[in-house]
Amino acid sequence: MYHTPAVSKAFLRSIGVRVARKKSSGSANRKRRWRLFLANPRCYWCEIMVSFENSTLDHVLPKSRGGDNSRENLVLCCPTCNNLKGSSTWIKDCQGVVTVLD
């Protein structure tokens, strides 16, 4: 019987073959959201109090614009602000004033 040798996913990606990535269960996002919630249970953008169940993670610099999932780029926010922001870029200065860049 012929046996095909195992090929690493990294090798397949290096030669241009698309390899499906395993989707996370969401527990990592839940842990990040919990840490941010414990630190400050307010929406980063509008500063209203949010419950843990009604909070979302938002990328300050959206992933579609080159942002990543780093701790510095993720903030806790309310669903309303997250939906309003979408893929635009907002900046909050040291006095709490939010500016929409695009």
Query: Is it the case that residue 20 has pLDDT exceeding 80?
Result: no
The torsion angles phi and psi of 22, rounded to 5 degrees, stand at -70, 130
76 pLDDT band, cuts 50/70/90, is very high
Q: Report residue 85 as tokens.
A: 């922001």
Compute, in degrees rounded to 10, the torsion defined by CA atoms 5, 11, 12, 18.
Answer: 150
**Domains and their CATH numbers in the chain:** 25-100 (1.10.30.50)
For residue 95, the one-letter residue type is Q
pTM (predicted TM-score):
0.66
Q: What is the C-alpha separation between 100 and 92, in angstroms, rounded? A: 9
Query: Is it the case that residue 6 has pLDDT exceeding 70?
Result: no
